């Protein structure tokens, strides 16, 4: 499980995927999110700009990212 410690109030979904190295670029993030391959808190998310807050959990490609304050 990867963890992201928030510096601000939130991080966007595409940025979170890049931050932990699950995608190489924002374009890659856009495609995997649009293809319905990413879940946020157990639900498929198709918005790359979805704001993630402390306590949110992202799942992609067998990996889990936990957002913490």
Q: Which of 36, 52, 49 is nearest to 3 (CA)?
A: 52
What was the pLDDT predicted at 69? 93
Number of domains the chain is built from? 1
- CA angle, residues 38, 32, 45, in degrees to nearest 5: 35
Give percent of the chain with pLDDT exceeding 70. 100
pLDDT tens digits, residue range 25-39?
Answer: 999 999 999 999 999
What was the pLDDT predicted at 61? 94
Report H helices in the chain. 13-19, 26-34
What was the pLDDT predicted at 31? 96
Which parts of the chain sit beneath pLDDT 50? none
CATH number of the domain residue 43 falls in = 3.10.290.10
Listed in order, strand segments (DSSP E) in the chain are: 2-5, 11-12, 38-40, 43-44, 51-52, 57-60, 63-68
Give me the domain span that covers residue 55.
2-68
What was the pLDDT predicted at 20? 96
C-alpha–C-alpha distance, residues 17 and 56, integer Å: 13
């Amino acid at each position: 499980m990867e963890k992201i410690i928030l510096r601000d109030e939130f991080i966007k979904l595409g940025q979170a995927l890049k931050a932990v190295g699950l995608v190489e670029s924002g374009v890659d993030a856009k495609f995997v999110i649009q293809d319905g391959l990413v879940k946020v808190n157990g639900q498929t998310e198709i918005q790359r700009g979805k704001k993630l807050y402390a306590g949110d959990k992202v799942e992609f490609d067998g990996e889990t990212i936990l957002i913490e304050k």
